[in-house]
Amino acid sequence: MCKNIRIIPRLDIKGENLVKGIHLEGLRVLGKPEDFAYEYCAGGADELLYIDIVASLYGRNNLIDIVRRTAANIFIPLTVGGGIRSVDDIRMMLRAGADKVAINTAVVKRPEFISEAANAFGSQCIVLSIEAKRTGDGTYEAYTDNGRERTGLDIFKWALRGAELGAGEILITSIDNEGTGKGFDIDLIRKMSAIVDIPVISCGGAGKMGDFEDAVVSGSADAISAASVFHYHLVKTQSVPQKFNLKSNLDHLAKSLSSDGASFGAIETFSVKGLKSYLVGKGLPIRPVMSAHILIEPNAENIL
Amino acid sequence: MTHRIVIVDYGAGNLYSIERALDFIGVQAEVVSTPEKIAGAERIILPGVGAFKNGMRGLSERGLVGPLQEYVRSGRPLLGICLGMQLLMSESEEFGRYDGLNMVKGKVVRLDPALPGKERFKVPHVGWSRVIRRESSCAEMPDGWTEGVLKSLPNGFFAYFAHSFVVVPEDGSACIAQTKYGGATFCSCLQQNNLYGCQFHPERSGIEGLEIYRDFVRRN
């Protein structure tokens, strides 16, 4: 009781676009992240997660500008990750409107960066991001760079170390399941939730509403993040501006199979609101979507 | 709106989301970090995340402890958010014992949500929880909810929390709203005379949260 499971849409960003692929690869452009973010916020999302998959913190069309544009109109927590390497990077992100940062590569290289960041901004601001890949012998290895680089670290030991150093939350992404729609890796979620004392955000594999229920009931997830199921719903219902040829992108995704046969076709689509109604109906602790959460337009009459 | 509204920057975390929330409701606030600016303020928002010790150090190093106490003695309103509320208390037990601003008698103690049984409640408490009215012991008296910054919100509204410590005011009536997390029931909204405090983050609590700022900047 009194612990409400958070539903967190995840937006992978490349350049100035929201993208999505399978196993963090084979990316397709879906639209502008800030358009999706606004819809999610109005639709009852509990938080948002932005991950810049090319870590272009200082590039053109950089993440800072996107975060700034997003944060001007949403009033739920926003976590931003991708390419954060220093205390100054974090400060810049917070200044642009992020509430928390998710860090992976930089803390794998230098774990004490977790402590430095937590001391400067508080643990609640620091999310340790771990990309997990199953190994042959039933353990999981931590990866960086969207599942491209091995670290040799056992994810559970690494998570414990990270929590000890001052991380406030763990974001665990299953590379094996990511983008496939075949469901969350329940074993992974359950073990991770049990082993650390800080909240765990589970990510990777959502394909239907029942998967979220499994993650909560069987996996004891504290929070769940998902991308495809929500993004494709907004695209299909044309709730976001259609600046790109989304239909051809979706057709491409529907046809494309990754090397292990995972397919976009396995993914059902639904809104955050629809998902929350489903979970509430199952008796799970969820913050309901209230009409009051529909955002007022800025500069409307209610301004002082 | 002519009140001079300031957000105190003492190096403890994220005040930009508060600035943006105020901006959204059409209020211009100034981010300040000097004693002079505190002295001249008409509304103060004291934000803050992170450790109590670092927060107090940040205030002392900038010479803001005395000016803040003087400001509050003058009767002008101050709203503390999260750590900003905890700093108003007399003392904290966070990693040792540390003096606070001593504006509200009471302590800051660790949140202990443990319940016997299977379900685990993790600390920090991160997420959305209900803010529940603490009924006045004297039924005919208006309570803090009716009078304070929560007055336009429904009892039991959801707010976003991210914290490991909670305030325990000596005078229980200073606690105008409570929140339950696991086995713990803690003070989530504080009011004592011209002092207001929220353990949650109104600037991250959707439209309800913005109402709190709207009320605070309007109040006389």
Question: How distant is the alpha carbon of residue B11 from its chain centre?
Answer: 17
Pairwise CA distance, residues B159 & B176, whole Å: 15
Lowest mean pLDDT among A146-160, A272-286, B57-71, B109-123: B109-123
Q: Is A12 annotated in the active site?
A: yes
Q: What's the pLDDT score for residue A11?
A: 96
* A159/B147: higher pLDDT: A159
Name every chain A residue with its beta carbon within 8 A of the beta carbon of B217.
304
pLDDT tens digit sequence for A243-255: 555 556 666 555 5
* Residue for token pair 């004392």: A197
pLDDT tens digit sequence for B179-200: 999 999 999 999 999 999 999 9
Residue B50, token pair as written in the block: 């992170």
Burial of A248 (0-12, 13-18, 19+ CB in 10 A): exposed
CA angle B144, B159, A130 (to 5 degrees): 150
| Mutate: best of A38, A75, A87, partner B, most B CBs <10 A | A75
The distance in angstroms from the start CA to the end CA of chain B is 11
Region of A55 please: left (phi>0), alpha (psi -120 to 50) or beta: left
CATH of the structural domain B5-218, one choice from 3.40.50.880, 3.40.190.10, 3.30.30.10, 3.40.630.10: 3.40.50.880
To the nearest whole Å, the CA of A194 is away from the closest chain B CA by 9
Read off the pLDDT of each residue in A122-126 and give the average, rounded to a whole number.
89
Q: What's the pLDDT score for residue B7?
A: 95
Side chain identity, residue A97: G
Burial of B85 (0-12, 13-18, 19+ CB in 10 A): buried
CA-closest candidate to residue A182, choices A250, A253, A265, A255: A265
CB pairs under 8 A between A and B: 128
Pairwise CA distance, residues B174 & B152, whole Å: 19
Sequence ranges of the domains in chain B = 5-218
Structural domains of chain A in order of their starting residue, each with its CATH number? 6-285 (3.20.20.70)
To the nearest whole Å, the CA of A222 is away from the closest chain B CA by 9
Is the predicted pLDDT of residue A261 greater than 70, yes or no?
no
